[in-house]
């Protein structure tokens, strides 16, 4: 006899452990609409208060994965790998990672999201490229992954539909920040994409959703344990998000940074360290390299030979973007009408910045959404952001504001200037990759 939804809710509310059949039944009801919005909200709140153990979390992830179609890439005969980031400011790593790893011999079917809160979204960045199709047909998606090795697209309606419904309910019921629900939400979509291995970037710092080291570790551990429990070989790197990762924040500006990176112009930066660390982790997980040093050498070769840039160019063209985008990006990426420098308030060293507020500033310029139906202005954002530890003279630009008009640019210049702390002593350098969870 089928169990009543309210009995599942009551059991979890009272701290009981749900069995896989109860979880699967509830998620089936969520998918077919037989469970009401109120019941879904009550379930989310019960999980928020009572938590879930690993077995429950694996069952929830698998039930959400199986709520729609699952992809199978076995016919292509190449290892299938992906990466997911919990989101930060100036984090455009996915844009470079997919073509690098594809150039080294893996398939990367990357299903990405839009901006969330103060963090930028990979899909919003790609939509800066005229014509780029983030929702190709399943046939075209498969064709591009087969021919190019990578495709970065949006979640289709058929992939983990239960997650879509539950996420929308969590968003309006203050249950987004539940570790079991975050874990199942992230992993159900990734598992539905048919991955063999996955690497997770769990951000930690004042520009991420996780500001407490212990919480970041708990989330990373949950994601790694549940993904491995669900049959996907997974590891996580906890990375620093106490300053923007790239030297730009904003959609078209981050695409420009991606191209500069693939041309070899960002070697040695914090961004470079993160990209290489994740690419190497993915290649070892895929069995393409036996250890980190060999993997890093493959990554460098893919960059220096131009193979990674070639994959990026091909991916853009096969997904309906311009054939000559990489060579003529300045002709295609829209430029903001007003660009003004943000002067340093005094001489000294950049010791800290309010990273989350930098992300919020990009949204205020129109580069993100305060409501789901907002249109994004792809031109706006911040560029030439100096890294922390840089010595500056008074009046020297610490960044440039790109805005829709001069008055907005000048107002934002004041706001951004106030987000940086300048001290007399250089801060100690922080590692960008903090720890690895396996």
Per-residue tokens: 166: 């539950």
Residue 173 pLDDT grade (very low, low, confident, very high; cuts 50, 70, 90): confident
Residue 424 has phi, psi (to 5 degrees) of -85, -20
pLDDT at 71: 92
pLDDT tens for 193-210 read 999 999 999 999 999 888
Q: What is the mean pLDDT of the chain?
A: 94
**Distances in whole angstroms, Cα of residue 236 to Cα of each of 51, 85, 171, 371:** 22, 10, 25, 31
Asked about 164 being catalytic, the answer comes back as no
Task: Outline which parts of the chain fall under CATH 3.90.1170.30.
Answer: 334-423
Asked about 189 being catalytic, the answer comes back as yes
Residue given tokens 């996420």 in the structure block: 167
Residue given tokens 């660390």 in the structure block: 277
- Strand-strand pairing, 391-392 and 348-353: antiparallel
Residue 84 pLDDT grade (very low, low, confident, very high; cuts 50, 70, 90): very high
**Which of these is catalytic: 119, 122, 183, 234?**
122
Given a cut of 80, whether residue 143 has pLDDT beyond it is: yes
Question: How far is CA 62 from its chain centroid?
Answer: 22
pLDDT tens for 253-272 read 999 999 999 999 999 999 99
- Structural fold of domain 74-155+194-318: Pyrimidine Nucleoside Phosphorylase; Chain A, domain 2 (3.40.1030)
Q: Report the share of the chain in percent with pLDDT over 90.
A: 86
Task: Outline which parts of the chain fall under CATH 3.40.1030.10.
Answer: 74-155+194-318
Among residues 133, 413, 96, the alpha carbon closest in space to that of 262 is found at: 96
Among residues 269, 270, 429, 268, the alpha carbon closest in space to that of 351 is found at: 429
The CATH number assigned to the domain with range 334-423 reads: 3.90.1170.30
Asked about 85 being catalytic, the answer comes back as yes
Asked about 28 being catalytic, the answer comes back as no
Per-residue tokens: 6: 């309210």
**Which of these is catalytic: 94, 185, 239, 355?**
185
**Which of these is catalytic: 12, 78, 189, 402?**
189
Asked about 185 being catalytic, the answer comes back as yes
Contact 90, 246 (CB under 8 A): yes
Residues in CB range of 404: below 8 A, 6 or more apart: 336, 337, 338, 365, 366, 377, 379, 380
Asked about 83 being catalytic, the answer comes back as yes
**Which of these is catalytic: 12, 65, 78, 83?**
83
**Which of these is catalytic: 31, 61, 85, 208?**
85
Which region among 54-68, 203-217, 362-376, 400-414 has the lowest average model confidence (pLDDT)? Answer: 362-376
Q: What is the pTM of this model?
A: 0.91
State how far the Cα of 255 lies from the Cα of 381, in Å rounded to an integer.
12
């Amino acid at each position: 006899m089928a169990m009543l939804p309210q009995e599942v809710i009551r059991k979890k509310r009272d701290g009981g452990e749900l069995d896989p059949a109860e979880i699967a039944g509830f998620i089936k009801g969520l998918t077919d609409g037989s469970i009401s919005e109120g019941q879904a909200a009550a379930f989310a709140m019960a999980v928020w208060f009572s938590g879930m153990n690993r077995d429950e979390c694996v069952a929830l992830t698998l039930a959400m994965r199986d709520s729609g179609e699952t992809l199978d890439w076995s016919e292509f005969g190449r290892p299938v790998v992906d990466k997911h980031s919990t989101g930060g400011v100036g984090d455009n790593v996915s844009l470079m990672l997919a073509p690098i790893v594809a150039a080294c011999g893996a398939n990367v079917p990357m299903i990405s999201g839009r901006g969330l809160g103060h963090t930028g979204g990979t899909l919003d960045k790609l939509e800066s490229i005229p014509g780029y199709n983030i929702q190709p047909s399943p046939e075209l998606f498969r064709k591009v992954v087969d021919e190019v090795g990578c495709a970065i697209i949006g979640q289709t309606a058929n992939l983990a539909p239960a997650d879509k419904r539950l996420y929308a309910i969590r968003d309006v019921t203050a249950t987004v920040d539940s570790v079991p629900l975050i874990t199942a939400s992230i992993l159900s979509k990734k598992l539905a994409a048919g991955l063999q291995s996955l690497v997770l970037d769990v951000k930690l710092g004042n520009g991420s959703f996780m500001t407490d080291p212990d919480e970041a570790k708990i989330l990373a551990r949950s994601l790694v344990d549940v993904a491995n429990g669900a049959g996907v070989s997974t590891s996580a790197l906890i990375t620093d998000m106490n300053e923007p990762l790239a030297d730009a924040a904003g959609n078209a500006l981050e695409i420009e940074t991606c191209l500069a990176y693939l041309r070899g112009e960002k070697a040695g930066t914090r961004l470079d360290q993160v990209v290489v660390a994740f690419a190497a982790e993915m290649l070892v997980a895929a069995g393409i390299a036996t250890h980190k040093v060999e993997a890093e050498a493959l990554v460098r070769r893919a960059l220096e030979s131009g193979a990674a840039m070639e994959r990026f160019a091909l991916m853009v063209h096969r997904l309906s973007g311009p054939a000559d985008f990489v060579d003529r990006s300045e002709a295609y990426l829209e430029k903001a009408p007003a660009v003004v420098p943000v002067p340093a308030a005094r001489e000294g060293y950049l010791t800290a910045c309010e990273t989350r507020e930098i992300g919020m500033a990009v949204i205020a310029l129109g580069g993100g959404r305060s409501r789901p139906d907002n249109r994004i202005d792809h031109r706006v954002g911040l560029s030439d952001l100096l890294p922390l530890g840089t010595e500056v003279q008074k009046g020297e630009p610490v960044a440039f504001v790109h805005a829709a008009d001069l008055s907005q640019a000048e107002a934002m210049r004041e706001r951004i200037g106030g987000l940086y702390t300048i001290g007399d002593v250089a801060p100690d350098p922080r590692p960008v990759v903090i720890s690895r969870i396996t």
